[in-house]
Structure 1
Amino acid sequence: MAEMGVMVVELRRYRTHPGARDDLIELFEREFIEPQEAAGAAILGQFRDLDDPDRFVWLRGFRDMRSRRAALETFYSGPVWREHRDAANRTMVAWDDVLLLRMPEPAVFDTGARAPLGSPVPATTINMLIQYSDAPPPTPTTPSALVTEYAENDYPALPVRTGVHAIVAWSDGPIDDSTLPPGRTERMRLAPTARSWLR
């Protein structure tokens, strides 16, 4: 996929069996990126959590909720997932820690510029902040900050967390949370994988 306007984003955090994270990443980057993008998704980033050796984090974007459902139905009913799903599932303990989010306005991503297989792992770190509040948060003003998407998850085979009010922000530098509403804050230090578009 080349340029794509993205409005809806999933933040997906998978718990892997001890020692299995790199196996999942290798499989994901070899088999799952291009077929998902051919189905209509944008694979925005894949990361190792630097503070949790058994957590794989990734971001997947869509034009809108309708496009999300179509892309997921196409990929998860298709031949690539059928062939490799058992191998992927064997690496994971849990895969339902998912926040469904939306951009403040559509942002264009050119994932066609992704590094090819065999590329070195970038020596960079992405800082990510998740701020949970008791009420819907205000709309952020930058494309690297997302808020909860309250539309119904119309692909229930892949559950998302509900009853959550969240702002998610990321940066390659420190994140200032002084302007965010009060609430519980979670921070992650993420290392992009070799083929991550965000790096």
Structure 2
Amino acid sequence: MNMPLNATLKSAVRASPVVELRQYTLKPGQRDTLIDIFDGKLIEGQEDAGMTIIGQFRDLDRPDMFVWMRGFDGMVARKNALADFYGGPVWAAHSHAANATMIDSDDVLLLKPAWPGAGFDLTGARRPSLATDGKPLQNKPLTGIVVIEIHHLQPGTEADFANRFETETVPLMTAQGARLLAAFATEHAENSFPRLPVRADENVFMSVTGFDSAEAHARHKAALAVSPAWRDFWQAAQPGLTKPTETLRLSPTSQSLVGRVRLQMP
């Protein structure tokens, strides 16, 4: 079975106006089982239904968490794509096995690019072909990690925070070796597929960055910690934050598009 977007990805991938970040709590020891099912059986059916499967990850700090992202061409397109997939034969064939690995699958953020061009650029990203048993024919391990930071904001402040983050913070981050892959804010449109809940009351800004290794990320954090401009930004932002920042350190699976190329914002 080959992935339908391996050779030529949709030109609109960067502009996907709706993205889901999904965090699944799994039964102990079941993460690799779910990854085998997801990577081997569930990507093609979702993309055939009109979704873009952006990335799937092991959480480095939470061994029973599976984190993934998918994109849609809009809220109506999301409704139609999800209805097609979850009412279709691929999910019917594999839903029982997938659901058997999970404790909770309702931790979902509905997002939109934080500014024009802030979505993922997946140009050149190719998944390895799969054998008939769903295993990659060339299963070379991916190097590097993806770091997601979720900042919880006072309602109505996302646009201002995003503007300041883009102009003030991104140059500091990239100067210290981070590759900003994407940035998102909450999509406040009504959930177009209520069968799958989302965290509807959230107001967040989310950055996605790439590093060559966990050690490179640690060095990056240490360098920023002593930057006066970095400290000034976060001191000014503190009154608008409603809870501590969530940080996810993630390792891409073998079939994750994020991780297949070194992505960089323009």
TM-score (norm 1): 0.92
Q: Partner letter of residue 151 of structure 1?
A: A
Is the 2:122–2:257 contact (alpha carbons within 8 Å) kept by the matching residues of 1? no
1:127-184 per-position Cα deviation (integer Å, ceiling 9, x unaligned): 1101001223124547611000000001001000021110111111447776464322
1:113: Cα distance to partner? 2.0
* Alignment-derived partner of residue 144 in structure 2: 124
1:75-100 per-position Cα deviation (integer Å, ceiling 9, x unaligned): 00000101110100000000000000
Answering whether residue 96 of structure 2 is matched by residue 86 of structure 1, we say yes
Q: Partner letter of residue 62 of structure 2?
A: D
Provide the C-alpha distance between the structure 1 equivalents of 2:47 and 2:124, rounded to a whole number of angstroms. 9
Secondary structure of the 2:17 match is: strand
Answering whether residue 153 of structure 2 is matched by residue 133 of structure 1, we say yes
1:63: Cα distance to partner? 1.1
Is the 1:124–1:191 contact (alpha carbons within 8 Å) kept by the matching residues of 2? yes
Alignment root-mean-square deviation, CA: 2.0
Provide the C-alpha distance between the structure 2 equivalents of 1:194 and 1:143, rounded to a whole number of angstroms. 18
* Alignment-derived partner of residue 79 in structure 2: 69
* Alignment-derived partner of residue 217 in structure 2: none
Is the 2:181–2:210 contact (alpha carbons within 8 Å) kept by the matching residues of 1? no
Answering whether residue 30 of structure 2 is matched by residue 20 of structure 1, we say yes
* Alignment-derived partner of residue 171 in structure 2: none
Q: Partner letter of residue 157 of structure 1?
A: R
Number of corresponding residues:
199
Gaps of 5+ in 1: none
Q: 1:187 aligns with which of 219, 244, 247?
A: 247
Is the 2:125–2:258 contact (alpha carbons within 8 Å) kept by the matching residues of 1? no
Q: Aligned pair in 2 of structure 1 residues 76, 111: CA closer, same or farther (>3 Å)?
A: farther
Gaps of 5+ in 2: 131-135, 167-179, 212-219, 225-229, 260-266
1:114: Cα distance to partner? 2.2
TM superposition outliers: structure 1 runs of 4+ over 4 Å: 140-143, 174-180
1:116: Cα distance to partner? 2.7
Q: 1:3 aligns with which of 2, 10, 20?
A: 10
Q: Aligned pair in 2 of structure 1 residues 187, 74: CA closer, same or farther (>3 Å)?
A: same
Q: Among all aligned residue pairs of Structure 1 and Structure 2, give the percentage whose two residues are the same amino acid.
A: 39
Q: Partner letter of residue 150 of structure 1?
A: H
> If each structure's strand is expressed as a fraction of its own residues, which one has the higher value?
1
Q: Partner letter of residue 72 of structure 1?
A: L
The higher radius of gyration belongs to 2
1:46: Cα distance to partner? 0.2
